């Protein structure tokens, strides 16, 4: 049996970032090798997790 | 990461770090999935993921904000489906919950959405079992305290030691892991109880019971997230019936405290 997490998003976070139900915006950025990554293209029809994090440095 | 791969889920991470920083980070931690560089934070801003409140968040933790920290993203995870549509999103505001090791995704997904220390709660029948750690991150060689709390519905109880034959006593077990030193589990004194007509002497817990165990994270710096796996076992009975014994398993990912490099 695994832990069950609350489904609701706290009020202050609901408006933040792309909305549930909307298409995730196009993102084209270089990755760690310098290659330009087109997110939806590289995703290639698979579901995906997109993680925003503060920094790899601090 | 392997579990995601098995399920055919792609993974992307975005921050405002330049490519060189990400290259070093990826090499050091063996990260194969794309770490996208949004230097200048244009994408972060366009997507509405700028942490404009960084100063306020820092103040809450007694940290001052440097110029190079402006433009930083607000930590969050988006799950998008095969059509590219957002189906789930989750945010983690706690400044300390951030993994600099191999478990970046574990740290973000494994942590509850609210700002609390590492905790998991499971409700099953008449008992709610909760496991929590008194810190959201560990320092190398730090001793933390793991607490197990059972909330039991009125009219029901669970058993403490000594327990008559055939009954399952309340117990907390932490799975052995190299480097994780598990101390002694402490439960409060149960209260004695005798049912008329029965010979057995029972020792019960009712309503709420809390047990603790010290855990020493005897890991050198740089080892990263450790997952504490534990099980709480109990058997709930009323005055007229006993439910079958239960084992509730927990997994608490505990990131290493972020280091400034």
A-chain residues near B84 (CB < 8 A): 23-24, 40, 43
DSSP 8-state class, residue B234: E
The two most distant CA atoms of chain B are separated, in Å, by 77
For the segment B48-68, what is each residue's pLDDT rounded down to a tens digit? Answer: 999 877 666 666 666 666 766
Query: Is there a contact between B71 and B41 (Cβ–Cβ < 8 Å)?
Result: yes
User: pTM for this structure?
Assistant: 0.48
For the segment B180-229, what is each residue's pLDDT rounded down to a tens digit? Answer: 999 999 999 999 888 777 777 889 999 999 999 999 999 988 898 899 99
Q: What burial letters (b/e) apply to B58-97, b meaning 16+ CB within 10 Å?
A: beeeeeeeeeebebbbbbbbbbbeeebbbeebbbbbbbeb
The residue behind tokens 């574990």 is: B106
In whole angstroms, what is the distance from residue B76 CA to residue B78 CA? 7
Closest partner residue to B87 among A20, A33, A34, by Cβ? A20
Query: Could you tell me the sign of the dihedral formed by the alpha carbons of B72, B74, B75, B79, in that order?
Result: negative
ipTM > 0.90 for the complex = no
Domains of chain B by start residue, with CATH? 2-110 (3.40.30.10), 119-254 (2.60.40.1250)
Closest partner residue to A45 among B12, B82, B250, by Cβ? B82
The residue behind tokens 């007509």 is: B197
In whole angstroms, what is the distance from residue B195 CA to residue B203 CA? 11
Residues 6+ apart with CB under 8 A from B240: none
B residues 80-139 near A, CB within 8 Å? 80-91, 98, 100, 104-105, 108-109, 112-114, 120-124
In whole angstroms, what is the distance from residue B111 CA to residue B105 CA? 10
């Amino acid at each position: 049996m695994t832990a069950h997490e609350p489904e609701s998003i706290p009020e202050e976070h609901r408006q933040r970032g792309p909305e549930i139900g909307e298409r995730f915006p196009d993102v084209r950025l270089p990755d760690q090798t310098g290659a330009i990554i087109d997110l939806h293209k590289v995703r290639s029809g698979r579901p995906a997790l997109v993680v925003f994090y503060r920094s790899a440095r601090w | 990461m392997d579990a995601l791969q098995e399920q055919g889920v792609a993974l992307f991470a975005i921050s405002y770090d330049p490519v060189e920083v990400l290259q070093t980070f990826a090499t050091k931690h063996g990260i194969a999935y794309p770490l996208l560089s949004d230097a200048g934070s244009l994408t972060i801003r366009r997507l509405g993921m700028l942490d404009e409140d960084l100063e306020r968040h820092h103040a809450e933790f007694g940290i001052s904000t440097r110029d190079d920290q402006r433009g930083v993203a607000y930590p969050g995870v988006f799950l998008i489906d095969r059509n590219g549509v957002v189906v789930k999103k989750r945010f983690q505001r706690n400044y300390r919950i951030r993994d600099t090791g191999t478990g970046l995704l574990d740290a973000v997904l494994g942590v509850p959405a609210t700002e609390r220390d590492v905790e998991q709660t499971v409700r099953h029948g008449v008992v709610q079992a909760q496991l929590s750690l008194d810190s959201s991150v560990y320092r190398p060689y730090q001793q933390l305290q793991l607490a197990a709390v059972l909330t039991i519905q009125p009219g029901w109880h669970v058993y403490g030691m000594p327990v008559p034959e055939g009954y399952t006593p309340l117990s907390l077990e932490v799975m052995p892991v190299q480097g994780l030193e598990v101390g002694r589990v402490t439960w409060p004194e149960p209260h004695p109880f005798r049912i008329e007509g029965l010979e057995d002497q029972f020792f019960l817990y009712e309503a709420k019971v809390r047990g603790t165990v010290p855990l020493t994270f005897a890991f050198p710096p740089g080892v990263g997230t450790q997952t504490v796996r534990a099980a709480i076992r109990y058997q709930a009975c009323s005055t007229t019936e006993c439910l079958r014994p239960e084992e509730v398993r927990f997994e608490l990912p505990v990131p290493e405290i972020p280091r400034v490099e």
